[in-house]
Chains A and B, each alone.
Chain A
């Protein structure tokens, strides 16, 4: 029993923490944005208040909506919870992290996306189809980029299982890896695109010309909307966790070492706060790009990721050591 608890305790802790903290993260980012824009903001706990408000309302669903419409929010939520459990956040080896490797993780995110797009088109409104189409366009470009980003650390550690990658990078001697720097830059760009942040999509807009994600969720209300909002926050949390795990995993608890869990949790909290503030800064200094420039943005991300991979192949994989002949000056 003790060993069982040992095994599953970090997992449950991680999932519960992520679930609870996701809206807090959203609130923190919005608060930072408000401060940067010289407003006083609504406080970091506002997302919780929004969720509570939504849960009290009655759901209004179109007459022609099918089962898919009602099901999609829960599917998305389920995928996000699973994703958050898979990504090593406070410990490198949690049971569920063996459920999927990086490629399957991308597939999981894609599953959520597909359901949302289908649900958006299900009701037959113009905005729904518009949002779904734009979303899938961005996804078609962002997914290859995301995969490429994952490949670089995977090549470095020789495995696509997230736990192994994180363990390898966390334990490696600190050195400058340009390939990881490129992959990190590409990852940030994909994060911005996938989570509907500026410069790809304004999370606060409802203008037809500029909506992407918002357009898909226009038809939802009450508890469905609450679930979707929570899933949205969880998705951002997932991306942050992936970024932290791949590029700055220092402080994470090694497998089976549950004494280090509190320290790991603290380290994670610090990183999330910093990352959230960084995202707010990024959003404040960028302007939203026009929709038809979004492919260019993602092509750049793809390019950076491929570059990182190529550089890894060319520069960092093992070559026989050169004999450095020190010539005397002519």
Chain B
């Protein structure tokens, strides 16, 4: 029941906003919708905690510990971003960068995007997972090009084509998986249901599954932003409106990684060689290193943090690749805190860009002077994302590094070096942005400060102490993933 609500509310919201999205109150409707989704997600979570994993609608949907926490996270960040988007878009309207018609498209697509992500998380059918991932790209393409500048059109085109090609590879991987499954479970809809597949994973044909996993990793990995398939990510983040950058970074990458991990569980059962884990480690490590190196060259603040997203997704992929209870626990924690921190950073960066009228790093100076909220928000957010204690990212990175030292010692110096390079790059660029002589002007409307600090507070809390139910949640999910 709650599951139906979780899915139905965004759909209805999208349809509603398609009609009224240009009205002045549309942003409030957006926030209300997202809050309702969050409430439904909270109820769903409560039910899963009480009664354990559940399936619904002829086993087409499946909620277990792994995806329920992602569902709550998605709904939560969706809501806070809607709050931020309300203030942000109001200021954009004031500055004349967007018309009412485009806001209608924006609001309606925002809710549809939420729906596709929640569908991807909650579905039990791997084919529908694919459909939802492709739909997620489709809903956001027009949003990336919302400003209709040449650069944003290019970014949206690259996004569409690259992700489209990637997702086609994932479709082939899904077909191969179905082919292997049909050999054991018989053809028909059941062969794509994850709950059935997990029971017969040892009987699936290894050669086919190896090939399938390679295609799935390349395909969904394009959407996660793994190097060398990451080309679309910096452009899409930099040229789209900031709320879209926040949800792309904070949520879509997570969902894509979730898709990979779901398939990895099946493949690990069929293969004994651990190939899946090694591939993920390789891609993850490559992402971390390449992203860290590219961070130095960035002149646009949103591109800077986009590369930071690539880096952190690389860390999470690497941790999932390593496997083992501690690494997976750390990876799940990392997904959570990265999502919260990165969206908070994008909130501050969005308002900062509005204050100074530019996205270039050298054009933004001395944010603390005019608006301490944004200035300190950016500073603290950057410190958090760089892995400074006592924020949550430190905890997850620490766990990952210690596990790596134990299991994959050759990778540890590479990781440490990359993290160090990233630290230096980001900190050196952020510090003059926040302190010093200011070039910023005051904003016409008050910025959204609540989401920023809510996120940062949560990340701080997760760094200091993880609530018991959350910890058991992660542990149960980690046990599931293996």
Contact = CB atoms under 8 A, between A and B. Distances in A.
Interface of A: 327, 330
Contacts of A327: 186-188
Contacts of B187: 327, 330
A327 B187 CA distance: 8
Interface string B172-214: 0000000000000011110000000000000000000000000
Contacts of B186: 327
Interface of B: 186-189
A330 to B, nearest CB: 4
Nearest to A329: B188
A330 B187 CA distance: 9
A330 B191 CA distance: 12
Contacts of A330: 187-189
Contacts of B189: 330
B189 to A, nearest CB: 7
Nearest to B182: A327
A90 to B, nearest CB: 52
A268 B187 CA distance: 53
A330 B186 CA distance: 10
A209 to B, nearest CB: 42
A146 B410 CA distance: 56
A307 to B, nearest CB: 22
A325 to B, nearest CB: 9
6 smallest beta-carbon distances between A and B, as pairs:
A330-B188, A327-B187, A330-B189, A327-B186, A327-B188, A330-B187
B196 to A, nearest CB: 14
Nearest to A327: B187
6 contacts: A327-B186, A327-B187, A327-B188, A330-B187, A330-B188, A330-B189
A329 to B, nearest CB: 9
Nearest to B190: A330
Contacts of B188: 327, 330
A330 B190 CA distance: 10
A327 B189 CA distance: 13
A163 to B, nearest CB: 44
B107 to A, nearest CB: 40
A296 B346 CA distance: 53
A304 to B, nearest CB: 27
Nearest to B186: A327
B193 to A, nearest CB: 13
A327 B188 CA distance: 9
A327 B190 CA distance: 14
A330 B188 CA distance: 6
A142 B189 CA distance: 51
B399 to A, nearest CB: 46
B390 to A, nearest CB: 55
A119 to B, nearest CB: 55
B460 to A, nearest CB: 52
B208 to A, nearest CB: 16
B191 to A, nearest CB: 11
A29 B188 CA distance: 59
A330 B189 CA distance: 8
Nearest to B188: A330
A267 B187 CA distance: 52
B205 to A, nearest CB: 16
A118 B409 CA distance: 71
A327 to B, nearest CB: 6
B347 to A, nearest CB: 48
B68 to A, nearest CB: 30
Nearest to B187: A327
B183 to A, nearest CB: 10
Nearest to A328: B188
A62 to B, nearest CB: 62
A136 to B, nearest CB: 42
A55 B188 CA distance: 79
B388 to A, nearest CB: 55
A123 B188 CA distance: 76
A257 to B, nearest CB: 51
A4 B188 CA distance: 69
A330 B185 CA distance: 13
A327 B47 CA distance: 39
A327 B185 CA distance: 12
